[in-house]
Amino acid sequence: MASQKETRGALMLDVTGFELTDMEQQLLARPAVGGVILFSRNYQSKTQLSELIGGIRQCNNSLLIAVDQEGGRVQRFRDGFLRLPALFNIGEFAKTDLKMGCMIARSSGWAMASELRAVGIDFSFAPVLDLFSVNSSVIGDRGFSDDPRMVVTLATEYIQGMHEAGMAATGKHFPGHGTVAADSHMELPVDTRTFDQIRKKDLEVFAQMTGIVDAIMPAHILYSKVDSLSAGFSTYWLQQVLRKDLNFNGIIFSDDLTMLATESSGEIEQRAQLALDAGCEMILVCNNTNSAIQVADFLEAEGFGKNERLQQMVGREFCELNNLYKSDRWQKESKIITEFNSQGESNNE
């Protein structure tokens, strides 16, 4: 584990394959780089993944290593990892058996975090706190429920499971992505609701979770009746609403600055500046190595300092995989999840 005084650069980027290229090794060693996010293309086997993570650590041992391991259709590592249920499936089950639904949520958070920590990953960008809506295909079953109270209840259990496994939690996508149809990966979604309408629905979840989550990721969505900038670039949303009104003291990550939703905000350096000025402490630049290099150049030229607060996201407890799988708790929690998945498959036949 890194020391308490460790500082990290503001840029989180990705790598292209199963092992690092020479150029990636040089890039990861740069002072502007503070983290790496892994994708499905980076996973072949647990042995290969451990070697890749070891290579990343050799470049810079202070780098945060993250992944999107939500469950359901967003689970980057599958073969050899426990299949995690979609959060919406947990929410639907909890409608009829809340106690067991809470148990499944906590088991999912713990098992997900435990497996990732055992291979050396610091955290998963989870859980999704967006409300479920049939109008949103990009969120859809990634959200627990369309009921804010149910989302808060289950997300609290899920996060407690993550914390018990030594992993920090990141709630996304502030102040709520689930009600818009457009996919921010492809275009800039526009939400035309008033602030009061958002406050009574989507924002209610985040308002109750700011004391529990360790980090928050804002949405690349323009809430046109609230501010002229999308939430991830908005000082109003991040500084006034999130920091001051909701009293959030954790880390703020930008969503990926290469998403098409961000292109209208300028060149990649301008987007980086906007996100940092709005209050993001770490910015993600993925799937475009040239853009990542440009942002690293920009950050270093502009003298953006390293951030000690990112220490909060370092994974804590650590257990070797073999010991994890032999543990009584793994046997218990994985059985709960496997039986829940099997029950869902039986119901769909």
Tokens of 4: 């308490």
- Residue 232 near residue 218 (C-beta atoms within 8 A): yes
Task: Annotate 131-185 with DSSP letters as a single string.
Answer: PP-TT-TTTGGGSS-SSHHHHHHHHHHHHHHHHHTT---EEEEET--TT--S-TT
Range 264-271, long-range pairs (CB < 8 A, 24+ positions):
264/188, 265/229, 265/230, 265/233, 268/294, 268/295, 269/294, 269/295, 269/298, 271/233
Residue type present at position 112: M
The three-class DSSP label of residue 222 is: strand
Annotated catalytic residue 255: yes
Q: Which of 130, 141, 191, 255 is catalytic?
A: 255
- Residue 286 near residue 256 (C-beta atoms within 8 A): yes
b/e burial code for range 23-38 (CB count within 10 A of at least 16 → b): ebeebbebbbbbbbbb
- Residue 45 near residue 8 (C-beta atoms within 8 A): no
Nearest to 131 by CA among 156, 150, 112, 158: 150
Q: What angle do CA 258, 251, 241 make, to 5 degrees?
A: 90
Tokens of 137: 């295909």
Q: Which of 146, 183, 185, 227 is catalytic?
A: 185
Annotated catalytic residues are 185, 255
